[in-house]
Chains A and B, each alone.
Chain A
């Protein structure tokens, strides 16, 4: 008669019991307002929508990556541009959720507003499974964004001075066209050439189009790019002055800042000097 190997059965039972626990270790949640994302649901979405660029392992080596001139985000590194948290820290779930809904302008990352909020929350949860950082670190604390001070000519002029003092022009150029003397030397964390933002091209930045979005970019930096955080360099009120000035560089966008700036003789002369006249190319590039 064959003897029952209780030890073997015990091992099998323990392993079977541990399986859900082990599997659970790979599960991740995200929390965005009333939404709770689940990584298992996000997995299906990821392998429908995202893997072509970000890769099956989330390290940004999808089959299309070689053809993209800003490489897809490497989720294993967990370095994200658009955050509301200090530089070097993990973003909030809400930051990733917002990025999915907004996309990243001037890159191949589209907005995924066609997905439901739940689907975007699920995707965020799944993205977090790629990097061990999400298991060992907490997201940074969101920076405080003080109320925007009243717009004034003095604020714009002070912002202009800061633009010079902080040497923003070295990368972004004196007219904000992204053609500063250092522009051609810049690379991102993937050692890929990267071009500084051209303020004259659009009223949207990579991480949104509101003044608050611009403010956050100064104070958090765009991790993974040469754009640093200025949180330790300038005061919040100075940052707001810089925001006001940068809006005047977007001379194709009728912002309150530009309108105010144009109402001054100095501002009108500067802005009009930047405009290229009488070149109706029909190409969408506005003179």
Chain B
């Protein structure tokens, strides 16, 4: 590790260790959340099709792959039930990415500096989390997906667990899914093409504003529209998948098992329509909305609020996420554009228990923000794809506007910009396995987010790896 900017004065040994632990923890979280998903050679083996059929560049789906998925992992040609396979057929795929990566953050809390912050850079060889996908059809029009997923220490959790009734009553407009699943996001975070600690997720999907510099929102309120959620989903689509619409009823716990927070429910709605634009390809436009709520306090045992009883969260307050998305194909060039809007209740933002008769702290407001995404791919051929992405988040209403003692938040507190470049090369395309050389660089700047001085925080990540699944 390279710590720059230190004054060289003696400090107690525990602070650098804390810094190391902090960086390791952050990397660990990123590597876990960046755990990619959903490229299934198990399907390719079953149908004898190259992965490039269903994936523009795996794991990103092509329109054909999206149709296959929406149809309950069925082609619709009566070769979909496992009975057509060898009795030994077991649709399992694992995916992992050995890699070298470099992570650098310009301002990490470090004691050896006058400011208490220093640039921290680390690099070395590593590996990603591991995904075990098993999915397919139990019988005609009964599909399933189970995804045990680990971080890079081997600690497993269930990333997805669901069963689906497909084409109920013979209608493609009636499909019901139950379990933990990825929301019907047209821009799928589980099929993201980028892997770094910064761009392994979409920033807009996980952004939560700060209440004040260095002060996060209610710690029990953790939400990402890119996270898999637990609930039931109805999805309908036209036979050719040009029109898609879905609605989900979800537990308000961001996909955590065991009902850890509240008894509340969220709703997610998505709709899109694809159309042909001359010879350019299939264009798609759509929108989505997530209407959620989260508790502001819990019932607790004799130990007081520090000992909340799981699942008893009350004083729910709302939050919303909305978006418009366009997916544009210009022959070998494809562009995704997204507008995103989010707002959180002031109670959640200020971490204030909404007890009967309680009032908000002076100066607390419901924060709101707008976001945008521009992602472009140049698909030279099925084996080579160049990736570029720019995301931004701009606060339109700060959570705290001053109370006479503490000054108002800077208007740009939390504003974020992320820029990513990458290339993936697939040396072979087969129906047996997937392999990609992956190179990527990403940089993120977050206004006012440094841990001590609350100045701008900039991090970068460089990753070179071999991404494979079998």
Q: List A residues at the B interface (Cβ < 8 Å).
A: 41, 44, 47-49, 51-53, 62-64, 67-68, 103-119, 202, 283-284
Contacts and interface: CB of A to CB of B under 8 A. Distances in A.
A67 B48 contact: yes
B276 A114 contact: no
B404 interface: no
A53 B48 contact: yes
A112 B77 contact: no
Given A110-B76, A111-B77, A49 B64 contact: yes
Nearest to B83: A283
B66 A114 contact: yes
Contacts of B239: 113
B279 A106 contact: no
B77 A109 contact: yes
A47 B429 CA distance: 10
Contact of B241 (A104, A114, A202): A114
A236 to B, nearest CB: 30
Contacts of A116: 276, 279, 281-282
A114 B382 contact: no
Nearest to B238: A113
A104 B47 CA distance: 14
Contacts of A48: 50, 52-53, 62, 382
B299 interface: no
B76 A111 contact: yes
B79 A51 contact: no
28 contacts: A41-B279, A44-B332, A48-B53, A48-B382, A49-B53, A52-B430, A53-B48, A62-B48, A63-B430, A63-B431, A103-B77, A105-B77, A106-B78, A108-B79, A110-B68, A110-B75, A110-B76, A110-B77, A114-B62, A114-B63, A114-B64, A114-B282, A115-B282, A118-B278, A119-B281, A284-B139, A284-B140, A284-B141
Nearest to B332: A44
Contacts of A41: 279
B276 to A, nearest CB: 5
Interface string B77-91: 111010000000000
A109 B140 CA distance: 17
B49 interface: yes
Given A52-B431, A108-B48, A114-B64, A284 B77 contact: no
B77 A49 contact: no
A52 B81 contact: no
Given A47-B382, A103-B77, A115-B64, 14 more contacts: A41-B279, A48-B50, A64-B48, A64-B431, A106-B77, A106-B78, A108-B47, A108-B75, A110-B47, A110-B76, A113-B239, A114-B67, A114-B241, A115-B63
> Could you say which interface size class chain B belongs to?
20 to 34
Contacts of B141: 284
B49 A52 contact: yes
A1 B139 CA distance: 82
Nearest to A112: B64
A113 B50 contact: no
B115 interface: no
Interface string B356-393: 00000000000000000000000001100000000000
Interface of B: 47-50, 52-53, 62-64, 66-68, 75-79, 81, 139-141, 239-241, 276, 278-279, 281-282, 332, 381-382, 430-431
Contacts of A107: 77, 79
A194 to B, nearest CB: 15
A106 B76 CA distance: 9
A52 B53 contact: yes
Contacts of A52: 48-50, 53, 430-431
A284 B239 CA distance: 21
A103 B75 contact: yes
A92 to B, nearest CB: 21
B238 to A, nearest CB: 9
A142 B294 CA distance: 65
Of A49, A53, A104, A114, the most chain B CB neighbours within 10 A belong to A114
A110 B75 CA distance: 6
A109 B332 CA distance: 25
Contacts of A44: 332, 381
Contacts of B76: 103, 110-111
Which 10 A/B pairs are nearest by Cβ-Cβ distance? A64-B48, A110-B75, A113-B240, A114-B67, A114-B64, A52-B50, A114-B63, A118-B279, A48-B52, A116-B276
Given A64-B431, A113-B239, A53 B49 contact: yes
B76 to A, nearest CB: 6
B377 to A, nearest CB: 14
Contacts of A115: 63-64, 282
Contact of A111 (B63, B75, B139, B430): B75
Nearest to B67: A114
A68 B78 CA distance: 14
Contacts of A108: 47-48, 75, 77, 79
A109 B77 CA distance: 7
Contact of B50 (A51, A104, A114): A51
Contacts of B64: 49, 112, 114-115
A266 to B, nearest CB: 30
Contacts of B240: 113-114
A108 B78 CA distance: 8
Contacts of B281: 116, 119
A96 to B, nearest CB: 17
Contacts of A68: 48
Contacts of B79: 106-108
Nearest to B239: A113
Contacts of B67: 113-114
A193 to B, nearest CB: 16
A252 to B, nearest CB: 12
A47 B66 CA distance: 19
Contacts of B430: 52, 63
Contacts of A112: 64
Contacts of B47: 108, 110
Of A104, A109, A115, the most chain B CB neighbours within 10 A belong to A115
Nearest to A38: B279
A21 to B, nearest CB: 25
